[in-house]
Structure 1
Amino acid sequence: MDNIYPPSAAVQLGRTVLLPPRGVNNVFIVVLTSLMYDFATNLDEELDYLMGSRMTLAKGLFLGCRYIPFVLCALHIQMALSQSIEACPGLSESNILFLGILLICAECIFVQRTYTLWNYNRRVLIALSIFLLGLLCGTVILVLSCGLQLKTATFAQGCSSSSSISPHFIIVPYIFLLLLEIEVVGLTFYQVIRFYRTTRCRLLTVMTQYSVGYILAGLLFTICNIVAICFVPGDYGPVFEASQCIAQSLLVTRMQLELWKLERYPAAPTSYSNDQTELEFELPQRASVAPNSSVLAI
């Protein structure tokens, strides 16, 4: 958006945006409205979780995914109203840095949840870590490249810039992101099918408890962004990329709160561990022997 997501490589992971300022700001309004609605509708559950759980890695990632989008919105407003072009490089650097951190935090939650779902299987952790490390390295390199390009970029009012980075360079971290999310989806579906065959309970119930909808939505966002980068005429990628980062954060925070509710207010017979970062649920009604499945509950 031309401001939080301005038409510049320095701001949105990379390229010139052809959207007019009004179109960019309209996207920003939609994003901000979605953030405020999600925050308001989940405030009671969020306070319940924040006050009722101890500090863990998952909780730290949750806080990052929940509140970094508001920082990005504040940066957008400041860039839109900024009368000083000298402040644009610093604001743009901060913007792209927070976007990178937000995306990594969201993917770490998906990875940690899948690792827990597989009962802390070391092989699964190694497989997930390979693509997560590739995504991390690709994002860091892209952020640093955009930061270096800011040194020579020329900014106009509103902190827009015509500087750009090749889409072929931008696509690299997205390939790692796509591979990571495909792996997460595959590992999750394996456990869903395995549990379903054992218990013969309602498939929709199992998919809901395993948060399949959230990870599929994240995968869909990534595929749409890759298509936009490669095939959509015009450089609209930065708007889509920033929107995806924020959408990913909404998905993982909503997923975490749903799992927290499932632990605190179970709708079916459950067994709990002493560690509040885990939730174990089972559906013994449908099978004589039903395997326990651990899912990240923050």
Structure 2
Amino acid sequence: MQAEYSTNNVAETRSLQVYTYLYTSMATFWIYDYACSLHLEWTFLLRSRWSKVKGLYIIARYVPFLLLSGHLYMNFIPNENSDKCQLLNNICSCFSLISVFCSECFFVLRTYALWNNNKIVLVTIIATFIAVVVSSITFAFATTATAPWTTSAIPGITGCFQSSAVIQLFIPFLLLIGLEFGLMSLTLIRAIQSWRSTNSHIYAVLVKHNIFYYACGLFFSAVNVLTLLLFQYGYQAMFQDFQFIVLAILVTRMHLHLWHTDQLAHGSSALVFIPLSDISSAGSRA
């Protein structure tokens, strides 16, 4: 006799399947991007000198592997234990926060570099950045800890999801929108101030990268706010890690492009890493 399931059971299961397909697609896209940039990446890793920025690059580049592995494990391995689901989700959330933290750090440094190492700008950015990070972590873990995890009532469907709404998670994305809008504004102000006096190609690359990155961050943050407010079940969290994966790809790709652009500008024999602060100074003197 065929079992009958409620409309909610079917809706929950469909959302869980879409959620699983999305993470599988993200993992495939990430591996494809890594394979395409493998030669450029290893050239950078082997021939650039070690620095804090290089360490930041490595973390931003490889933490998404751990994030995607954790989610794929949670989505495909049969699991009836809600506590284990909560634990796995907390681990994946930590990877997500590390990923987006490193990505944003890159552009905090770039904005600081564009402002010629202005200490007032640096203190303002860091204070705002710390406030956003602490508030986001507090909201994220406090909200997800109170929402119970469950599995699909339909046999054969693996994975787990939060059975009650967690719309409060839109607050960290609103904070991220505020941070990125502020950084984009600082970049535009600096670009307007310096567009006549600065002829450095690297300076122009920095400005273009910053604007494009912030535009993507604002767009995906807005999408996540809307999905959290308008959708239910697994659909709510569909694009959260998608945003972090895309931002990680953008920031690492942009850094590789900037480094190789610098090598071309200084000659193929000058294979050393130029800190972002030096790039800004060079740009202002050009």
Question: Following the alignment from structure 2 to structure 1, what is the Cα–Cα distance between the partners of residues 212 and 93?
Answer: 28
Does the 8 Å CA contact 2:149/2:160 hold for their aligned counterparts? no
Partner of 2:275: 277
Q: Give the alignment of 1:1-298 within 5 angstroms.
A: 19-86=14-81, 87-146=84-143, 148-149=145-146, 153-155=149-151, 158-164=158-164, 166-167=166-167, 169-198=168-197, 207-210=204-207, 211=209, 212-230=211-229, 232-234=230-232, 236-266=235-265, 276-278=274-276, 280=279, 291-292=284-285
1:149-207 deviation line (CA, Å, top 9, x unaligned): 37x6445563413344542x3232222211110111111112222232235x69x9965
Change (3 A) 1:79 1:229: closer
Give the superposition deviation at 1:132.
Answer: 0.9
Question: Following the alignment from structure 1 to structure 2, what is the Cα–Cα distance between the partners of residues 33 and 219?
Answer: 24
Change (3 A) 1:164 1:139: farther
Normalising by structure 2, report the TM-score.
Answer: 0.78
Does the 8 Å CA contact 1:18/1:234 hold for their aligned counterparts? no
Give the superposition deviation at 1:252.
Answer: 0.9
> In percent, how many aligned pairs have the same letter?
25
- Aligned pair count? 263
Give the superposition deviation at 1:98.
Answer: 1.0
Give 5+ residue unaligned stretches, structure 1. 1-15, 284-289, 294-298
Question: Following the alignment from structure 2 to structure 1, what is the Cα–Cα distance between the partners of residues 173 and 284?
Answer: 35
Give the superposition deviation at 1:225.
Answer: 2.2
Give the superposition deviation at 1:220.
Answer: 2.0
Q: Secondary structure at the match of 1:51?
A: helix
Q: Secondary structure at the match of 2:162?
A: coil
Q: Secondary structure at the match of 1:75?
A: helix
Question: Following the alignment from structure 1 to structure 2, what is the Cα–Cα distance between the partners of residues 137 and 17?
Answer: 32
1:246-271 deviation line (CA, Å, top 9, x unaligned): 1111111111111111111129x9xx
Aligned-residue RMSD, C-alpha = 3.2
Kindly provide the amino acid, as one letter, of the partner of residue 185 in structure 1.
Answer: M
Give 5+ residue unaligned stretches, structure 2. 1-10
Q: Secondary structure at the match of 1:265?
A: helix
Question: Following the alignment from structure 1 to structure 2, what is the Cα–Cα distance between the partners of residues 228 and 81?
Answer: 23
Kindly provide the amino acid, as one letter, of the partner of residue 229 in structure 1.
Answer: L
Change (3 A) 1:62 1:19: farther
Does the 8 Å CA contact 1:132/1:176 hold for their aligned counterparts? no
Question: Following the alignment from structure 2 to structure 1, what is the Cα–Cα distance between the partners of residues 43 and 142?
Answer: 41
Question: Following the alignment from structure 2 to structure 1, what is the Cα–Cα distance between the partners of residues 228 and 184?
Answer: 23
Normalising by structure 1, report the TM-score.
Answer: 0.76
Does the 8 Å CA contact 2:114/2:203 hold for their aligned counterparts? no
Q: Secondary structure at the match of 2:128?
A: helix
Give the superposition deviation at 1:239.
Answer: 0.9
Question: Following the alignment from structure 1 to structure 2, what is the Cα–Cα distance between the partners of residues 45 and 106?
Answer: 19
Question: Following the alignment from structure 1 to structure 2, what is the Cα–Cα distance between the partners of residues 215 and 257?
Answer: 18
Does the 8 Å CA contact 1:282/1:292 hold for their aligned counterparts? yes
Q: Which moved more, 1:29-38 or 1:252-261?
A: 29-38
Q: Secondary structure at the match of 2:279?
A: strand
